[in-house]
Structure 1
Amino acid sequence: MALTVDEQLALSATEAVAAIHAGRLKATDYVATLLARAAALARLNALTVLAMEEALAAAQRIDALPPDVRAQLPLAGLPIVVKDNINTRDLPTSAGTPSLEGFIPDSNAPSVQRLLDAGAIVLGKANMHELALGITSTNLAPHAGPVRNPYDPSLIPGGSSGGTAAAIAARIVPAGLGTDTGGSTRIPAALTGTVGFRPSVGDGKTQRRYHDPNAVVPIAHTRDTVGPMARTVADIALLDGVITGDHTLPVVDLGHLRIGLPAPLWEGLAKSVESVARDALERLETAGVTFVPVEMPDLLPLNARVGSAIALHEPREDVPAWLVANRAPVQTVEAVAARIASPDVRAAYDAILADRFGGDYYEALTVWRPQLQRHYADTFVGHQLDALLFPTTRLAAVPLDEINGSSKVSIDGAEPIDEMSAYLRNTDPASAAGIPGLSLAAGMTKERLPVGIEIDGLIGSDRRLLAIGIALEQVLGQLPAPVL
């Protein structure tokens, strides 16, 4: 019996592929359903481009394959969205900024191509914070506009991969690709009740899990990575396996897990977020997980020496390298900066152009970043940990600011602080250290807003971290869909 529209919208990525493989769902029907969903929810502004004709044509090709051939495609007929800063050969890659509006690269990013080769279908490009330099996805470029949270369209969805997260939460697609430099897959996942993964970057070379050289409009090569996003951790594992060819998933016994709770990342939380996170801990502890409080006193001080010094210096070389390699319509950082639309992003580019952190860069890269990585390694080894766990963000979604793109926020009435700093505090250290991180849904506040918890692992432990995430998600469950 054919699946109803509601049944199709409820499918996870793994379930959708299984239904197509089993002949219970035609790729063309599924794509048509999701295209209609995207059109009906255009007010969320999750997508910048909807590839209607291309997606339907790709679905027809999947349906025309002999069943035995289709069964060999691990993502046969799976619709996805791709963040607007990731190269796509047939669709524009603008990074949400006016100077790149309408630009179409010559080739797909390797991560995109591997998904396509496995049978995935790109439904469209996902909206984002301009140039990925923000955590709200309130893009003020005329061709983009702000992304809205499906759980409350007056609120931010998080960023910078907010369009991908909003599309997944709204059931426009079951999965997609974002990018993560300081938290850009994990923060929007937390604020939209979805799952976001930042794979290992390590030294940025041999330890990098995803290799997409000059295929993503960059911030900083030491920190940037493509990352899959979905509604379940199993779906993340599916996409990660296709991108890397590493399909192994170790068996995880909750009763044998030792998970650290880093004290600095459990402080200064909104009471509503802490309540949900503590409840999640109790449920996991009841299921057998052993939690180990860990002090990690050097975590935030070390990260402060690493974060901005790298993220606001490396764009001076990385951005023009991408522009030149891809024959973009502009070729310099200055030309990109001249047309930036969002005030918060313009301020970040002012710091980049002035090279305010140039004097700190070498020491950040060669002294403080290795110390931060050792701090993580020593904590894991010293406490015999399988992962670290903490709330992904200090607070749930807040109202979007359509004037500045980002503003100040108050946590439970405290002195207002910079919005980007507030949301980045818990996710940024893992980015700076190059370790893998995974955000999954912990529950909802009394106001019915999603809260995420993050688990981090050591460099190269990606598949084990995903296996742990699957085990935790089986206890915590998934959030109800937003009412739209």
Structure 2
Amino acid sequence: MTSSTIAQPWALDARQAVQAIRSGRLKAVDYVMALLARADTYSSLHAFITLETESAIAAASRIDALTGNERARYPLAGLPIAVKANINVKGARTCAGTPALAGFVAPTTAPTVTRLVEAGAIVLGKTNMHELAVGITSTNLAAHAGPVRNPYDRSKIPGGSSGGTAAALAARIAPAGLGTDTGGSTRIPAALTGTAGLRPSVGNGGAERRYRNEHDVVPISHTRDTVGPMARTAADLAFIDGIATGDTALPAIELARLRIGLPRDCWRQLDSAVEAIAHAALERLEKAGVTFVDVELTEIMSICERISLPIAFAELGDDVPAWLAANGAPVQTLGALAERIASPDVRRIYEATLAGTYAEAYPHAIQVLRPELQRRYASIFDTAGLDALLFPTTPLPAVDIDDIEGSAVVTIGNGEPIDEMAAYLRHTDPASIAGIPGLSIPAGLTPSGLPVGIEIDGPLGSDRRLLAIGIAFESVLGALPPPF
């Protein structure tokens, strides 16, 4: 059987693609070429900033030159992956979607990328993103990047900041990829594009941190940042995560034995379409045997509102200059970087950091309030005997692109107008601040055809169990149709 018998290789998921390449049914070069052609066809999505065409074809040729037994030693043999533009890949541009770094070529490769490549993965290209990862729309106003467009409706945002990776996955340009997540940046774009995204455990940054990349990712906040895998299903996420971490075991999940918490605070003030789809998902899971328990996150949400910005943007003031210095970047100060920021919403945040806006609140936030937040989360899981928490990933589906500011003001249901970034972060931010893992999977499509995601958050260190729960939920909820 030759590669020509696979008529639409771009439709394969990550595990299917690897199986086809390792078995010899699909040539890695043919697969890469098919995806590159699809990237060209859908270039108006602005999913990629750069395609690593020559190196990807060369890597695929090396995979094809191996014998079948040799290919079998590579668990990701020939799998093309999309890598967010703020993650270092040696010899490729790490521009983080900002003009000051537009031509910067990374001197190193992030350890997570290295582990995937050593397992046989191929870097297809560097994906577009919200400028410097400081935003949730991926409406990048830098000339070399452009606003990422949602494959389900090109007038809408794909979410961010990892919107380019999510758009590439949804459009079947890549089967899997990497994003980063500070407050929701793998999960929000996954929810808005009908894909799956994992925010791994971070904890307090020591042994609890699942993905370690240090100075190989353009940062926002060392307390909150993490690389995270993105794919079209939780099953593919588990596949990629297992290779990236060496932790491949998946526990058996019996739906009838699960106790899942429903945080009331995340089930209020929802867009009507999101509410209908999320409740329909609950009903299907409940019929499958899942037990749901109402829980209260009011105090947790209150703490998050007080410490979210001080932790993220006070640390930005030190962490970004440290990355610039460690990588020999063309600019070396936060001020020099800020002067060339193209997106007004991002520039305002950098200017606030430079002005010391968050500095005074930072010590109390990091030393007192964040540990209290972590204790409260641990208590909720323990006291109620919960396996996880479940809620809509975002309170509203994708909204129109604002190509003037980079983000806008939105309303949810009949509520008051609120900042777009605050609206989309409302459900994803708390787990991010606490450092616990979170997973977003598709739940359905709105009547207008926009994806809706549901998020599953688990206790610190429960990443593999969380992925197994996501796989079990996918078996009940099913997959979404592709956008085209």
**1:4 CA displacement:** 5.2
- Which residue does 1:43 correspond to in 2? 44
Summarize deviations over 1:428-460 as a string: whole Å, max 9, x none. 000000000000000111111100000001111
**1:413 CA displacement:** 4.4
Once structures 1 and 2 are overlaid, which stretch shifts more, 417-426 or 354-363? 354-363
Find runs of 4+ consecutive structure 1 residues off by over 2 angstroms: 1-7, 412-415
- Pairing 1:282-321 to 2, within 5 Å after superposition: 282-321=283-322
Instruction: Classify the secondary structure of the residue corresponding to 2:230.
Output: strand
Summarize deviations over 1:325-363 as a string: whole Å, max 9, x none. 000001111111010000000111111111211111111
- Which residue does 2:192 correspond to in 1? 191
Contact 1:5 1:33 survives alignment (8 Å): no
- Which residue does 2:17 correspond to in 1? 16
Does residue 357 (structure 1) correspond to residue 369 (structure 2)? The answer is no
Contact 2:437 2:459 survives alignment (8 Å): yes
- Which residue does 1:471 correspond to in 2? 472
Equivalent-residue separation in structure 2 for 1:98 and 1:68 (angstroms): 46
Instruction: Give the direction of change, closer, same or farther, for the CA distance of 1:463–1:257 in structure 2 (3 Å limit).
Output: same
- Which residue does 1:348 correspond to in 2? 349
> RMSD across aligned C-alpha pairs, in angstroms?
0.9
Equivalent-residue separation in structure 1 for 2:41 and 2:472 (angstroms): 35
**1:305 CA displacement:** 2.2
Equivalent-residue separation in structure 1 for 2:366 and 2:6 (angstroms): 51
Instruction: Classify the secondary structure of the residue corresponding to 2:298.
Output: coil
- Which residue does 1:422 correspond to in 2? 423
Contact 1:200 1:460 survives alignment (8 Å): yes
Summarize deviations over 1:128-150 as a string: whole Å, max 9, x none. 00000000000001111100000
Instruction: Classify the secondary structure of the residue corresponding to 1:60.
Output: helix
Contact 2:269 2:415 survives alignment (8 Å): no
- Which residue does 2:385 correspond to in 1? 384
Alignment: residue pair count: 483
- Which residue does 2:444 correspond to in 1? 443
Instruction: Classify the secondary structure of the residue corresponding to 1:38.
Output: helix
Instruction: Classify the secondary structure of the residue corresponding to 2:467.
Output: helix
Q: Which amino acid aligns with 1:281?
A: L
- Which residue does 2:98 correspond to in 1? 97
Summarize deviations over 1:226-251 as a string: whole Å, max 9, x none. 00000011111111111111111111
Residue segments in structure 1 that go unaligned for 5+ positions in a row: none
- Which residue does 1:168 correspond to in 2? 169
- Which residue does 2:456 correspond to in 1? 455
**1:264 CA displacement:** 0.7
**1:415 CA displacement:** 2.4
Instruction: Classify the secondary structure of the residue corresponding to 1:312.
Output: helix
Instruction: Classify the secondary structure of the residue corresponding to 1:466.
Output: helix
Instruction: Classify the secondary structure of the residue corresponding to 1:314.
Output: helix
**1:89 CA displacement:** 0.5
Equivalent-residue separation in structure 2 for 1:203 and 1:106 (angstroms): 28
**1:296 CA displacement:** 2.3
Once structures 1 and 2 are overlaid, which stretch shifts more, 17-26 or 417-426? 17-26
- Pairing 1:201-350 to 2, within 5 Å after superposition: 201-350=202-351
Equivalent-residue separation in structure 1 for 2:350 and 2:89 (angstroms): 25
Instruction: Give the direction of change, closer, same or farther, for the CA distance of 1:6–1:158 in structure 2 (3 Å limit).
Output: farther
Summarize deviations over 1:34-92 as a string: whole Å, max 9, x none. 01000110010000001111111100000101211110111000001100000111210
Equivalent-residue separation in structure 2 for 1:68 and 1:8 (angstroms): 23
Does residue 58 (structure 1) correspond to residue 59 (structure 2)? The answer is yes
Instruction: Classify the secondary structure of the residue corresponding to 1:467.
Output: helix
**1:412 CA displacement:** 2.7
Contact 1:264 1:299 survives alignment (8 Å): no
Equivalent-residue separation in structure 1 for 2:231 and 2:4 (angstroms): 21
Percent identity among equivalent residues?
64
Contact 1:134 1:420 survives alignment (8 Å): yes
**1:5 CA displacement:** 6.1
Equivalent-residue separation in structure 2 for 1:188 and 1:224 (angstroms): 16
Contact 1:186 1:392 survives alignment (8 Å): yes
Summarize deviations over 1:6-56 as a string: whole Å, max 9, x none. 531221101110111111111011001001000110010000001111111
- Which residue does 1:70 correspond to in 2? 71
**1:299 CA displacement:** 1.6
TM-score (normalizing by structure 2): 0.99
Equivalent-residue separation in structure 2 for 1:3 and 1:282 (angstroms): 43
Contact 1:127 1:164 survives alignment (8 Å): yes
Instruction: Give the direction of change, closer, same or farther, for the CA distance of 1:280–1:141 in structure 2 (3 Å limit).
Output: same
Equivalent-residue separation in structure 1 for 2:446 and 2:374 (angstroms): 33
Equivalent-residue separation in structure 2 for 1:414 and 1:213 (angstroms): 41
Contact 1:312 1:355 survives alignment (8 Å): no
